[in-house]
Amino acid sequence: SVFGEQWRLEPMSAERKARWRKEVDWLLSVTDHVVEFVPSQQKAKDGSCME
């Protein structure tokens, strides 16, 4: 993991930067599939409301 290798604030080599981006993209890929459920109301045939 590149995260454990970065000790100092200095420019990264092209190879390390590519690995960093790949790992960050992998970690953040979960957020592409996050769904927010919003409650909605439905009216049944008998007139009652359900959430």
Are 6 and 19 in contact by the 8 Å Cβ rule? The answer is no
3: in domain: no
1: in domain: no
5: in domain: no
Read off the pLDDT of residues 1-51 as tens digits, 9 standing for 90 and up. 666 776 778 888 899 899 989 999 998 998 888 888 888 888 888 988 888
9: in domain: no
Provide the pLDDT for residue 1. 65
What are the residues facing 43 on neighbouring strands? 49
**Domain count along the chain:** 1
4: in domain: no
28: in domain: yes
- Domain that residue 20 falls in: 14-50
Q: What is the DSSP string of 1-51?
A: --TTT--SS-PPPHHHHHHHHHHHHHHHGGGGG--------EE-TTS-EE-
Provide the pLDDT for residue 9. 80
What is the rounded distance in angstroms from the CA atom of residue 51 to the CA atom of residue 39? 6
45: in domain: yes
